[in-house]
Amino acid sequence: MSKPKSDLRLLPGVDSFIDRRTFLVSLSKAIGAGSCALMFGNWPKPLYAAGQDNGHGTDGVPLRKRSAAKGLLFGGAAGYGTLSSNTDFVKLFAEQCAILVPESELKWARLRPAPDRYDFTQADWIAEFARKHDMLLRGHVLVWHDALPKWFSEVVTPKNAEKIMLEHIKTVAGRYEGRMHSWDVVNEAIASWDKRPDGLRNSPWLKLLGPRYIETAFRAAAEADPKALLVLNQNHLEYDTSGDEATRTSVLRLLENLKKRNVPVHALGIQAHLRSDETRFAPVKFRRFLRQVADLDLKIMITEMDVDDQKLPADPGSRDRIVADKYYEFLSAALAEPAVTSVITWGLSDRYTWLSSYKPRGDKLPVRTLPFDTDLHPKPAWHAIAKALDSAPKR
C-alpha cells in the first residue's frame, strides 16, 4: 500500500489528486494536452477540503460524520487479515465508518474448529479494534445455512440440534454482551426458489428443527444479550422482479408472525448486494415495502451494500459512473424512509471485496464495486453515498 506522499493529504483523495495531477502534467508534456484531457475525464473528481464543493455536489466530510448529522450510521464490513495488516486502510476505515462488521470472523466456520472448541482469537481482536477506534460493532451471524464447519453435518442431528444452536448463541452472543450494537440473529431465512408456501429456505436448520428455529434463535439471542438490536438479515429484497417480490412477501409474513408471538425481533437487515446490469428497481414499490416493515414497529438497516460491475464495460470512468448511479438510486429511495437507521457497505475499498473472487470480471480487470478504489482513493460511488446521506431527512 502506498503511503501518503505529502503533508497536504488532509483528506483521502487529496493525495490521489496531487498524484494524478503530477502524473497527468508529465503525461501531457509527453503526449500532448488533448489526450491528457480525455484521460482525466475518465477519473472521478477528487475530494477537496470540507465545505468546498468538488463538482459532485459533495465536499470531503467523511461518511461517518455526514451520516451522524442525519442521525444515521454509516459503516462497513472488514476482515481480520485486512485490519491487522494495512495501516492506511485502518486509518481510512476509522475515518469513514461509525460501525464495523467482522466479515467472517463470527461465523460458525471460523469460531468452531471442533464441536467442543471455540476460537475467539480473531473475533476478540476485531471487537477490541472497534473499541479502540471508537466504532460500534455489529455481530454477523448467529444462525445461517452457510459458513458452517465441516463437522456440522456429521455431528448435528434433529435430536441435538436445538441444544447445539442454543449453546452456540449463549456462548457467542453472551461473550460480547453489551458490546454489540446489533446481531444478525438469522441470516437469509427466506429463499423463494425453494418453493415452500412460507418462503422459508430449506436450510440445514429448517430440516433439523422446522420453522420454529427462527423464533428459538431470537429468544436465545435476547437472553444472551438483552441490549443488542436483534436483526433478521435477508438478501434478494431489492428489485421489482417476481423472485424478489416473493421474498418481500415472505419476509413480511414472517416478521408479522414473529411480532404477533412477541418474539424479540427489532429490525430487518436488507443486504443490498446490487447488480449493475439490473434495471428493475422500482423506488415507489420498494419504499412501500419499507413502510410496511416500519409499520410493524421495526427498524431497517442496509447491511451489506455493494454494486457488482461484472457485466459493465472495461473503461473505469463509465464503470464508476454506472455503479455510482446504482448506489444513489437505491440509497435515495431507502433513506427517504425514516425507519432506515444505517447504511453499511460490504467492504470499503475495491482492494478487499468478496466480489473479486465471487464475481470476477471476464477481462480480469480489478472490480470497482465499493466507495474507494484499490489505492484507497474515493470514487464516484463515495460521492453518490455522500449525496444520498446529505439529502436524507434527519432522524
- Binding flag, residue 148, ligand G3I (CB under 6 A): no
Stretch of residues binding ligand G3I (CB under 6 A), selected from 100-108, 162-170, 319-327, 366-374: 100-108
- Binding flag, residue 124, ligand G3I (CB under 6 A): no
- Binding flag, residue 304, ligand G3I (CB under 6 A): yes
Spatial distance between the Cα atoms of 5 and 92, rounded to a whole number of angstroms: 16
Member of 79, 139, 199, 204 binding ligand G3I (CB under 6 A)? 79
As measured in angstroms, the least distance from the Cβ of 169 to ligand G3I is: 17
Q: Quick one: which H or E segment has residue 215?
A: helix 213-224
Stretch of residues binding ligand G3I (CB under 6 A), selected from 6-14, 101-109, 129-137, 254-262: 101-109
- Binding flag, residue 147, ligand G3I (CB under 6 A): yes
Q: Which of residues 5-64 bind ligand G3I (CB under 6 A)?
A: none
Cα dihedral 13→19→21→26 (10° resolution): -170
- Binding flag, residue 104, ligand G3I (CB under 6 A): yes
Member of 20, 56, 64, 107 binding ligand G3I (CB under 6 A)? 107
Q: Which of residues 278-297 bind ligand G3I (CB under 6 A)?
A: none
As measured in angstroms, the least distance from the Cβ of 26 to ligand G3I is: 39
* Phi, psi torsion values for 188, nearest 5 degrees: 55, 45
Sign of the torsion formed by the C-alpha atoms of 195, 198, 203 and 204 = negative
Catalytically active residues are: 188, 304
Nearest residue (CB) to ligand G3I, 308 versus 320: 308
Q: Which of residues 241-280 bind ligand G3I (CB under 6 A)?
A: 271
- Give the SS3 label for residue 300: strand
Closest listed residue to residue 359, CA positions, set 350, 367, 370:
367
- Binding flag, residue 122, ligand G3I (CB under 6 A): no
As measured in angstroms, the least distance from the Cβ of 107 to ligand G3I is: 6
As measured in angstroms, the least distance from the Cβ of 185 to ligand G3I is: 13
* DSSP-assigned letter for residue 367: P
CA dist 334 → 82, 307, 392 (Å) = 30, 15, 9
> Which residue minimizes CB distance to ligand G3I?
354
The position carrying cell 458490546 is 179
**Degrees to nearest 5, angle at CA 96 with 23 and 233:** 125
As measured in angstroms, the least distance from the Cβ of 271 to ligand G3I is: 6
Closest listed residue to residue 134, CA positions, set 173, 181, 88:
181
Cβ–Cβ < 8 Å for 33, 27:
no
Stretch of residues binding ligand G3I (CB under 6 A), selected from 83-91, 99-107, 111-119, 196-204: 99-107
Stretch of residues binding ligand G3I (CB under 6 A), selected from 103-111, 313-321, 329-337, 365-373: 103-111
Sign of the torsion formed by the C-alpha atoms of 169, 173, 175 and 177 = negative
As measured in angstroms, the least distance from the Cβ of 222 to ligand G3I is: 22
Member of 146, 198, 277, 295 binding ligand G3I (CB under 6 A)? 146
Strand-strand pairing, 273-275 and 99-102: unpaired
* Phi, psi torsion values for 365, nearest 5 degrees: -70, 150
- Whole-number CA gyration radius for the chain: 22
- Binding flag, residue 306, ligand G3I (CB under 6 A): no
- Binding flag, residue 354, ligand G3I (CB under 6 A): yes
Length of the chain: 395
Residues binding ligand G3I: number (CB under 6 A) = 10
Spell out the alpha helix ranges (H) of 239-282: 242-260
Which residues of the chain form contacts with ligand G3I (CB under 6 A)? Answer: 79, 103-104, 107, 146-147, 187, 271, 304, 354
